[in-house]
Structure 1
Amino acid sequence: MGRGRHARRARVPFAVPAGFLVALTVGVLAWRLLEERAGRAGGAARPARPTATLTRRPSPGPSPPAATPSPSPTPGPINTAFPGLTTFRGNATRTYYGEGPVPRRPVVLWRYPPEGSMCMRSTAGGETKLWCGTGWTGQPNVIEHPDGTLEVRFGAYDGRYHFLDGRTGEPLGPDLATGDLAKGSATSDPDGYPLYYAGSRDDLFRIVALDREAPTVLWTLDGETSVPDPVWNDDWDGAALVVDDHLFVGGENSWFYAVRLHRGYDRRGRVRVRPEVVAAVPGFDDELLRALGDTDVSIEGSVAFHDGVVYFANSGGLVQGWDVSDVLAGGDRVRRVFRFWVGDDVDATVVIDEEGFLYVAAELQ
């Protein structure tokens, strides 16, 4: 079936160099955290070809002030209760890229795995091949625990999420195995709950408890069955955003979800959640599909948040803003308040500056 200029292209797998990039990124972050501590001491994708059930396009309207200002759109990391990096580009506006100073001559502290590569056979576009390394986007989380442990968390093309000691590269515990490539960026809970939010090409977005002997899946969201009209694919590439006990995420099925987490602890002191999908809306509309002539409209980037509105883009070039103020206030209503078509594929995450301006990067596909 012809798909024209929007034909899906297989992701180029990154082999051993990706391991180096992860190590280098972690090395810089580890170097910074170690310096701070020293200072204190001293003083499978199956591309869908559905006939989309077109939905009525919402009418844009003005956005009221946010019900809650948290998290604030500043360059700092989203988490303030503990040091570290908990999500892609660090914060709600996706503007945090680290802090200096950085070493003038970075060195690789360790390599994982010590020998070989992180590989798995997976099928894309009807072709099965070996994928190695880390993928789109694959940014690790770095968490400094109260006991001084520096933990690095990331997914890889071996279909697993790994939890390593940031100083040595040694595993801190068992991996979390999924059914296909774990190539997106995951999110660690920014409020200190031992929870990890991560997707996989096996269709499932997972909420994982990290306070057991092994990572334990508490809840899953299926990209294929959770909505009436999944479009294009069922993978999860973007990092979820957690705001005031709510999770916001977009999938390659081109739907945007708002999930009320109901985080807490059980009588045994173990973390628990009672997730409730309070809103799920399509990331496409009739006008976009008519303009494209196909259904290549997956959400590949991480959602961003500013002043009560969540922003994201899709592979069809549609940038949207959905007001989630009512959800954050305990309701279940979301309203689209922004629509702009850039004309071609937007895989990169939307970035928002302190004045609310959006920065959007498109590619000519």
Structure 2
Amino acid sequence: MYKSNREAFISIGSRLNDAIAENASGGANGNSKIISGETNNIDNKNDNNGNNNENAGNIESNEPQKKKAIMPQRNPEAIPETLPEKLEIKWDVIKGDKIISDYSRDYNISFPDSGEYSVLPGITCFRGNNYRNSASYGYADIKEEKLEEIWSFSNGSIDVWTGVGWTGQPAIIMWDEQTKNIMNIFPSKKQKEGLKEVIYATLDGKIYFFDLEDGKPTREPINIGYPIKGTVTVDPRGYPLLYTGQGIPEKNGEPGPIGFRIFSLINHKMLYYIDGYDKHAFRRWGAFDSSGVIDTKTDTLIEAGENGIIYTVKLNTKYDPDKGTISVNPDLEKYRYKSAISKRLGVENSPVIFKNYVYFIDNSGLLQCVDLNTLKPVWARNVTDDTDSTIVLEVESETEVSLYTACEVDLQGSEGYSYIRKIDAFTGRLIWEKAVKCEYNPNNNGGALASPVIGKNDIDNFVIYNIAKTGKIKKQGMTVYSGKLFALDKNSGKEVWTVELENDSWSSPVDVYTKDGKSYLIQCDSVGNVYLIEGKSGKILDTINLGANIEASPAVYDNILVIGTRGQKICGIRIK
């Protein structure tokens, strides 16, 4: 499976040097079951308006997990029903303190295919890349089809915010030797060849660093002092830079700052801070649950705020690995907007980017496609309700690029549905839709909070969604909500299989593959169950319980998955 570590590190280092040079120049387990489901495919006419695969030499071939990259030349454009003016979108571009009336970027952003997003072996951001299509890396060598907890440790809390929250996915990285040696990693871990470092932001305000294989700390944590809800981003160029948001601006009942931070991973110094209480924002809520992505060729970060602003950040990074120094001197350009339906601004999902087009959905259910080089909306549509689930993008052919998205049951109230949709990324046209009736709870939303799996290999015709609160029962005087895990045919939206989960979940499923292309799924739930599921059939193969609600989402490197619970426990689990 792997080349030697020496070969891997030489290859990573070569690509890292190229990037530097380029930048310088420009419980109830037994009751879960498989059930057959109904199909709610709709006709298009019923549209509703209301890494490089080799990953820097680490893997000899990732072909069973990834089709050959396609980069269509076609660009998005609106059709009559998705024109931004249909939803009365008004927008501004802000640079410094000035509103720019006819903005055009003085350099061109163009993201690559998802397989070429990162030079680093591992998972660098929420769902892995700019298409948000994978939270696993490498191959799993699975023989017993069992799960085994191999290590755990406890983290803390701030006020009521305990353990690890939503989205709560760790990053898992194998650094090249030169970068590893200039960072503040403990000497014993620095000496370990092929160290795979887990980086986990949690609700106790700390970002933890530990060894994937044994769970032991690799360095001291970073402490921002306030709860972090989202998922960190590690710079995909292999630079020692860490990007993180913040979920809550309060500690011990006292208000505090809230914003987005960039840290040096050489010495943990904070290099830059975006104040979430942005004076240009139309909403005064400064959280950043979104996990940003970086255009490596132009040194530009794209991040979405819950204040209703999309930030494009020219980092102006200076990195000298020989001297062990790194700095940023960012220039910000902001996209802000209002619309006829955006009563509640703010973006909690992570932006998806195809070439120079960013896709995101706000808390009112407004889906937009925005050109990053002009900061103008290209098309928009109403997707019914608040959508925190991150979109997934799939390039199907030279002429077909699709978005998969699903909404919550929040603004709709007690008669609401979670609408799972496939949408044409070029025009915003609805391809198919499946409506799932969900229970309404104003304090704990139902519907889609999890992001989907885009199947590969033996499930390459599946899109898989975890939908929360599809039913409820009374148990020992308490209301217990159930959920469903749906495998849908990508082309039709028809159900292939459905797993009925006695306990619902906000956690995103993760797809894992053997070297011969056999698929498995990892799904966690609200009472601490971790399920191993056969991808093709939906059969539950094994379950272990971690003792508390899992609203975070796992990441998997080879055979080891990492996940945290609200019960202040972070675990490493081997897929055997």
State the TM-score, normalizing by the size of structure 2.
0.46
Unaligned runs of 5+ in 2: 1-54, 60-87, 93-106, 177-192, 250-257, 411-576
Matching residue of 1:304: 352
- Tell me, yes or no, if the aligned pair for 1:70 and 1:243 is still in contact at 8 Å: yes
Matching residue of 2:219: 173
1:338 is the counterpart of 2:368? no
Distance 1:286 1:300, change over 3 A: same
- Tell me, yes or no, if the aligned pair for 1:78 and 1:86 is still in contact at 8 Å: no
Give the length in aligned residue pairs: 280
Partners of 2:270 and 2:265 lie apart in 1 by 9
Correspondence list, 1:97-246, <5 A:
97-98=135-136, 99-101=138-140, 103=142, 104-113=145-154, 117-121=155-159, 130-146=160-176, 147-200=193-246, 201-202=248-249, 203-212=258-267, 215-225=268-278, 227-231=279-283, 233-244=285-296, 245-246=299-300
Alignment partner of 1:359 out of 379, 396, 404: 404
- Match of 2:341, SS? helix
2:127 is aligned with what amino acid? R
Unaligned runs of 5+ in 1: 1-32, 38-54, 60-65, 122-129, 290-294, 327-332
Distance 1:164 1:230, change over 3 A: farther
Partners of 2:198 and 2:236 lie apart in 1 by 15
1:271 is the counterpart of 2:319? no
Aligned residues: CA RMSD: 2.7
- Match of 2:364, SS? coil
- Tell me, yes or no, if the aligned pair for 1:232 and 1:298 is still in contact at 8 Å: no
1:316 is the counterpart of 2:361? no
- Tell me, yes or no, if the aligned pair for 1:259 and 1:276 is still in contact at 8 Å: yes
CA displacement 1:213-272 (0-9 Å, x = unmatched)? xx11000001103x4234152111010011131000101112110000111226943111
1:57 is the counterpart of 2:84? no
- Cα deviation for residue 97 of structure 1 reads 3.4
- Cα deviation for residue 170 of structure 1 reads 1.5
Distance 1:136 1:68, change over 3 A: same
Partners of 1:260 and 1:157 lie apart in 2 by 29
Matching residue of 1:253: 307
- Cα deviation for residue 297 of structure 1 reads 2.4
Distance 1:188 1:178, change over 3 A: same
Partners of 2:339 and 2:147 lie apart in 1 by 50
Partners of 1:101 and 1:77 lie apart in 2 by 21
CA displacement 1:98-144 (0-9 Å, x = unmatched)? 2543532222221122xxx42111xxxxxxxx221111101000001
Distance 1:141 1:97, change over 3 A: closer
- Tell me, yes or no, if the aligned pair for 2:151 and 2:215 is still in contact at 8 Å: yes
Distance 1:133 1:56, change over 3 A: same
- Cα deviation for residue 173 of structure 1 reads 1.3
- Cα deviation for residue 350 of structure 1 reads 1.3
CA displacement 1:76-104 (0-9 Å, x = unmatched)? 4731x231110111111111232543532
2:359 is aligned with what amino acid? Y
- Cα deviation for residue 67 of structure 1 reads 4.7
Distance 1:58 1:251, change over 3 A: closer
The structure with the largest alpha-carbon Rg is 2
Distance 1:359 1:232, change over 3 A: farther
Matching residue of 1:285: 338
1:78 is the counterpart of 2:121? no
Partners of 1:305 and 1:85 lie apart in 2 by 17
Bigger RCO of structures 1 and 2 (CA < 8 A, at least 6 apart):
2
Partners of 2:91 and 2:363 lie apart in 1 by 20
- Match of 1:88, SS? coil
- Tell me, yes or no, if the aligned pair for 2:204 and 2:225 is still in contact at 8 Å: no
- Cα deviation for residue 204 of structure 1 reads 1.6
Partners of 1:317 and 1:100 lie apart in 2 by 36
- Cα deviation for residue 286 of structure 1 reads 3.3
CA displacement 1:11-30 (0-9 Å, x = unmatched)? xxxxxxxxxxxxxxxxxxxx
Distance 1:143 1:320, change over 3 A: same
Partners of 1:297 and 1:168 lie apart in 2 by 42
- Cα deviation for residue 159 of structure 1 reads 0.9
State the TM-score, normalizing by the size of structure 1.
0.71
1:360 is aligned with what amino acid? T
Partners of 2:237 and 2:319 lie apart in 1 by 14
